[in-house]
Amino acid sequence: MSEIKRFDDLADFSTEEISALLALSNRLERHPEPEALKGKVLSLLFLNPSLRTLASFQASMTRLGGGAFVISPEMSIHGLETRPGIVMDGAAAEHVREAVPVIASYGDALGLRAFAEGRNLTEDLEDREYRGLAELVSTPLINMESAINHPCQSLADWKTMDDLDIPVSAGKFVLSWAYHPLALPLAVPAATIQMAAMRGMDVTVLRPGGFELPDVVMNKARRLAERFGGSVQETDNRSEALDGAHVVYAKSWSSTRHYGDKHSDYQLRNQHEDWCVDEPWFQPAETNCRFMHCLPVRRNVVVSEAVLDGPRSVVVAEARNRMWVQMAVLYAMLGPGL
Amino acid sequence: MSEIKRFDDLADFSTEEISALLALSNRLERHPEPEALKGKVLSLLFLNPSLRTLASFQASMTRLGGGAFVISPEMSIHGLETRPGIVMDGAAAEHVREAVPVIASYGDALGLRAFAEGRNLTEDLEDREYRGLAELVSTPLINMESAINHPCQSLADWKTMDDLDIPVSAGKFVLSWAYHPLALPLAVPAATIQMAAMRGMDVTVLRPGGFELPDVVMNKARRLAERFGGSVQETDNRSEALDGAHVVYAKSWSSTRHYGDKHSDYQLRNQHEDWCVDEPWFQPAETNCRFMHCLPVRRNVVVSEAVLDGPRSVVVAEARNRMWVQMAVLYAMLGPGL
Amino acid sequence: MSEIKRFDDLADFSTEEISALLALSNRLERHPEPEALKGKVLSLLFLNPSLRTLASFQASMTRLGGGAFVISPEMSIHGLETRPGIVMDGAAAEHVREAVPVIASYGDALGLRAFAEGRNLTEDLEDREYRGLAELVSTPLINMESAINHPCQSLADWKTMDDLDIPVSAGKFVLSWAYHPLALPLAVPAATIQMAAMRGMDVTVLRPGGFELPDVVMNKARRLAERFGGSVQETDNRSEALDGAHVVYAKSWSSTRHYGDKHSDYQLRNQHEDWCVDEPWFQPAETNCRFMHCLPVRRNVVVSEAVLDGPRSVVVAEARNRMWVQMAVLYAMLGPGL
């Protein structure tokens, strides 16, 4: 891989390519290259809220000598219409069909965030909105979280586990559903289990009934596990899941049984307010079992303060690693290459 | 011209100066100079919404090795008062009389956007707000769209036509009014016809009765046409206007018959919902007749999707050229000069 | 002082250190060093509105060859919770306990703005919120205005007086309370009198009854005055205060008699609408007596237009000096040092 054109999905890359990206990100962390992307521009388009992504991509470009600009919906722009074929006589004065190629045209690459609609599971699993917008872009493109993927987060999480010497082949990775008052997207859980599977780990998805991950997600992760030497299973048995775990990665997501039906989702999830990751969860786990989360996280709802502020928690390291891995992606995309 | 101090109006520049700016922008497009404005700062003050201008000016500065910062009204600032002589005991905590010189003082140049009030035609034609604010600025200044001008857009449009080999002296340029649900400013139509006139083209303003461009705008364009070898006429006859046209530039604007009277304007404009530029318009025109628009544009209101997504449309190229021409202006203003 | 790790309070620095910072800022004003902070990142976190600070810090980093990114509450982030120990089942999806270290982790230094709550005088005088957040930060840190301090403003004001050759030891500095419709924080008055005291000036606080500065603020300023050769007194007698003054620095602040009790504060302050600094105030003062204010300022409420737009006023110079002194602080923090 001499150059990356699209960073849509970690599963598009080989082990060698991912190893090279991780090695590059470690090198850039230790040895700054503030001239590598001199005069280069990263366009950042957020169709949804952001903090880490917003900050870390700007910091990434500055550290490499380039720069970024941000367009996001709360700005005083003209309202962005996304529906195809519409007669635009309402509030929105601009359509994404112009906005996206124009914004992309000012940069050497585009970062794009477009969350799931959360209405139609098939559409979200196909990443229809992101793919539709991506078709409008002729520059290199980075997925900054779409309906079903979050490759920058996954690469950062991979680096975080490497930094902590968490075992690869014998490593046990638990992705645990957690309670949250809202029905959240599937992007992070889907991206996370495939990342852990690609890292060759034994992955367990722990969740209550009704929150099973969709077959298409589980099957993709299983195929990757087979290729990379890991395994993927699913359970609602907490002590079984955590037995021997090296990592508990917490995340809330929508009920897949009631996807798009908020009322039924809330009725179901509200029966599981006890799914707040807490110290007793870790009793059967490895002493050094780590707690991971992509942030933002609701304290004492998704995870207790005892865990989040304690020595298990590596959430700030994960967030910081966003910067180093994104620098590697940008360097491979716009700079000297991999 | 060794240096530009103000970029207020394209009409302030000679053919030679504009040729030099266009040549410079073409050079910077092909040969990056990421050290030209090293350590230089562009202050950007938006008193009105923006997308292309916001993005393209930041990208322009990054590509030349400098940087920009943005102040815009939706930010968490303190509310900006513009009225002179006021006792500031209301919501606004800051007056433009301090804000503008302060913001300007942090930059080597200031970009300023201040739209028309749309209440008083005389004031807007005199560009009273922009001129009033410009008086507070001692640094170099760039008009990022004022009540009656938009020189960056015009220079980008000029470059776009050059890039497409659209004829100069024999070129026929049609500025067509189009339907839009709101009463929009005169800045783009005024700037556009004078640009086309300065390019030496035969300019036709096509609009329904009641949407005549003001005499002061038409007369200025006619004087420029005389100086630069073009011509300017006005009509409401579509087939006559489009006969032999090389470019149809669509734009909506306020009724000048009812300027500042929204009710009467809407009554009049709503009779012209059929002024949506569509393929049949082009039947009598040149086969290769191009469609231009400054964006944002309302699909299927101002122009049909067939035209906008079809091969005539050069709207993304126009937007992208904003960046290259602005880089030339900034380079001439703050860098090695023209 | 080879390096600054924290810029929390001007009182933490010796005369020699402040002289060195001022000399450095003068040098950077005259001799740009656009490579000094190449590839360095300043994280900027605003928990409160900003204009000068927002603009000047970004400009500062660009002028030194680095860059900054901004996170502020009006952005489309996830809502920031600040209360400790809370169960986050409400609107806010992120806690400052994660957000602050994460934002800091992307930068080589963090700038942090956190205004006074204005409810509890003891807490605000102890700068409890800023100190609490600062504990979460392991990078170098800059106070961009806290409940009780504003060291960047103070250093800029110091430079402004130096630039104008305003006397040091024999200089008479009047901080005058002024009318404003809202109960504003004590940060600027507290920082300003200690700055003037450290500069060795004779400082008079002029305010109506009920607006006395708190003992802890006055005593700290008096101790600094003793150490640096100045003096500090307080009065409600305007002509006495202004007699021989070189500077009148206007600022409104909360009633300390009714701190946290808005109703009583407003009843008291509304009796003093005549405290609008105007030309007659300066009759007994030095002819060249300067008018200073940190901005934003309410025209014809805090100060008359005659004064603000007249030759006494140096408010734009103060604001511009924010940039030069901050560049010196950043250079000492992240660059070649002092």
Chains that touch C (3 or more CB pairs under 8 A): A, B
Instruction: Decide which of B200 and B48 is more confident.
Output: B200
Is pLDDT above 70 for C76?
Answer: no
Is A167 strand, coil or helix?
coil
| Mean pLDDT, residues A286-306 taken together | 95
How confident is the model over C263-285, as pLDDT tens digits? 999 999 999 999 999 999 998 67
Residues of A in contact with C43 (CB under 8 A): 55, 59
**pLDDT score of A89:** 92
Taking Cα atoms as reference points, which of B324, B322, B62 lies closest to residue A40? B62
Distance between CA atoms of A148 and A9, rounded to whole angstroms?
Answer: 9
CA–CA distances in Å: residue A156 to residues A153, A195, B191, C161, C239: 5, 10, 49, 49, 65
Closest residue of A to B322, CA-based?
Answer: A106
pLDDT at site C236: 97
C-beta atoms of C106 and A59 within 8 A: yes
The percentage of chain B sitting over the pLDDT mark of 70, rounded to a whole number, equals 98
Predicted pLDDT at A106: 98
Distance to chain C for B330, nearest Cα, Å: 16
Quick one: how far is CA B71 from the chain centroid?
20
Q: What is the pLDDT averaged over residues B143-162?
A: 98
Distance between CA B297 and CA B251 in Å, rounded?
Answer: 9
* CB contacts, 8 Å: A46 with chain C: 76
pLDDT tens, residue by residue, B165-195: 999 988 999 999 999 999 999 999 999 999 9
**pLDDT at residue A90 is higher than 60:** yes
Strand arrangement, sheet containing C172-177: C231-235, C202-206, C172-177, C247-251, C290-292
Q: Is A128 on the interface with B (CB under 8 A)?
A: no
Decide if A58 and C71 are in contact by the 8 Å CB cutoff.
no
Total length of chain A: 338
Domain ranges of chain C: 6-149+321-334, 165-313
ipTM greater than cut 0.85 = yes
B94 in reach of chain C (CB within 8 A):
yes
In DSSP terms, which residues pair with C112 in a beta bridge? C45, C143
Please name the member of C32, C67, C300 whose beta carbon is closest to the beta carbon of B87: C300
Rounded to whole angstroms, the Cα distance separating B21 from B43 reads: 21
pLDDT of residue B265: 97
* H/E segment holding residue B109: strand B109-113
Name the neighbours of A, counting chains with at least 3 Cβ pairs within 8 A.
B, C
**Best A42, A47, A51 residue to mutate vs chain C (most C CBs within 10 Å):** A51
User: Which of A39, A76, A101 is facing B63, going by the closest CB pair?
Assistant: A39
Poorest-pLDDT segment among B152-156, C41-45, C117-121, C188-192: C117-121
Chain B interface test: which of C33, C40, C51 (most B C-beta within 10 Å):
C51
Predicted local confidence at residue A3, as pLDDT: 78
At B27-46, the pLDDT tens digits run: 999 999 999 999 999 999 99
Residue whose entry in the numeric block shows the structure tokens 């409940």? C147
Strands C109-113 and C94-95: unpaired
Give the pLDDT band of residue B2 (cuts 50, 70, 90).
Answer: low
- Structure-token pair, residue C212: 């006395």
For A286-307, the DSSP string reads -TT-EEE--S---BTTTB-HHH
Handedness of CA A166, A168, A172, A177 (dihedral sign): positive
Q: Which pLDDT tens digit goes with each residue over B303-334?
A: 999 999 999 999 999 999 999 999 999 999 99
C34 to chain B, any CB pair closer than 8 A? The answer is: yes
pLDDT digit string, tens, across residues A254-279:
999 999 999 999 999 999 999 999 99
Question: Other CB atoms closer than 10 Å to residue A91's CB: what's the count?
Answer: 9
Quote the CA–CA distance of A91 and B34 in Å, as a whole number: 39
| Mean pLDDT within A8-17 | 96
* pLDDT of A2 above 60: no
Tell me the HSE value of C71 on the side-chain side, using a 13 A CA sphere: 31
pLDDT in tens, B264-295: 999 999 999 999 999 999 986 777 999 999 99
Q: What is the pLDDT of residues C89-138, one digit of tens each?
A: 998 899 999 999 999 999 999 999 998 889 999 999 999 999 999 999 99
Reported as type and span, the H/E element at residue C22 is: helix C15-30
Confidence of residue B22 (pLDDT cuts 50, 70, 90): very high
User: Does B260 lie at the interface with C, CB-CB under 8 angstroms?
Assistant: no
In degrees, rounded to 5, the angle at the alpha carbon of residue A123 between the alpha carbons of residues A117 and A124 is 55
Cβ-based burial of B25 (10 A; exposed 0-12, middle 13-18, buried ≥19):
buried
Per-residue pLDDT, B171 = 96
Q: CA B202, B207, B211 angle in degrees (round to 5)? A: 120
**Is B196's pLDDT higher than 70?**
yes
Instruction: Tell me how far apart the alpha carbons of residues C277 and A279 are, in angstroms, rounded to a whole number.
Output: 61
When CB atoms are compared, the residue of B32, B49, B65 closest to A76 is B49
- Is the CB of residue A32 less than 8 Å away from at least one CB of chain C? yes
On average, the pLDDT of chain B sits at: 95
Nearest chain C residue to B109, by CA: C59
Cβ neighbours of residue B21 closer than 8 Å, sequence gap 6 or more? B13, B155, B325, B328, B329, B332, B338
Q: Tell me the per-residue pLDDT of B53-65, one tens digit each, with 9 for 90 and over.
A: 999 999 999 999 9
Interface B:C, Cβ pairs < 8 A: 107
**Minimal Cα–Cα distance from C318 to chain A, Å?**
29
Q: What are the pLDDT digits (tens) for A102-161?
A: 999 999 999 999 988 899 999 999 999 999 999 999 999 999 999 999 999 999 999 999
Q: What does the pLDDT read at residue A322?
A: 98
B299: nearest CA partner in chain A: A88
Q: Tell me the chain C residues in contact with residue A320 when contact means C-beta distances shorter than 8 Å.
A: 102, 105-106
User: For chain B, which chains pass the contact test of at least 3 CB pairs under 8 Å?
Assistant: A, C
Query: In a 3-state reduction of DSSP, which class is residue B314?
Result: coil
Note the pLDDT tens digit of each residue in C140-157. 999 999 999 999 999 999
Query: Cβ distance C118 to C254 under 8 Å?
Result: yes
56-85 of B, contacting A, C-beta below 8 A: 56, 58-59, 61-65, 67, 72-74
Residues B148 and B216: their CA atoms lie apart, in Å, by 11
Does the pLDDT at position A337 exceed 90?
no
Under 8 Å between Cβ of A161 and A170: no
pLDDT value at residue B76:
60
Hey, what CATH topology would domain B165-313 get?
Rossmann fold (3.40.50)
Residues in B closer than 8 angstroms to C331, CB to CB, are none
**B32 to chain A: nearest residue by CA?**
A39
Mean pLDDT of C304-323: 97
- Residue % of chain A over a pLDDT of 90: 89
Of the candidate CATH numbers 3.40.50.1370, 3.90.190.10, 1.20.120.1200, 3.30.70.2740, the domain formed by B6-149+321-334 belongs to 3.40.50.1370
Buried b (16+ CB within 10 A) or exposed e, C222-248: bebbeebebebebeeebeebbeebbbb
Q: In angstroms, rounded to a whole number, what is the distance separating the alpha carbons of residues B247 and B288? A: 9
Q: Which pLDDT score is estimated for C2? A: 54
Q: Which residue has the higher pLDDT, C27 or B79?
A: C27
| Other C-beta atoms lying within 10 Å of the C-beta of residue B258 | 18
